[in-house]
Amino acid sequence: MSQIKALLLTGGLGSGKTAVATEIGEIIREVATEVLSLVG
């Protein structure tokens, strides 16, 4: 969780916003995939 916060903070400082959004999107996708594989 602290990783995401750090990403948000550094991304909020400037041009890194899109990169951060992409990174978070990928993390969410990975987690969702794992959850689905566990449930399924």
Residue pair 27/6 in contact (Cβ under 8 Å)? The answer is no
Asked if the model's pLDDT at residue 11 lies above 90, the reply is no
**Rounded CA gap, 7 and 26, in Å?**
13
> How many residues belong to the chain?
40
Domain ranges of the chain: 2-39
pLDDT-derived band at 25, boundaries 50, 70, 90: confident
Given a contact cutoff of 8 angstroms between Cβ atoms, the answer to whether 8 and 25 are in contact is no
CB 20, CB 8: distance < 8 Å: yes
Share of the chain above pLDDT 90, in %: 25
| Residue 40 to residue 12: CA distance in whole angstroms | 37
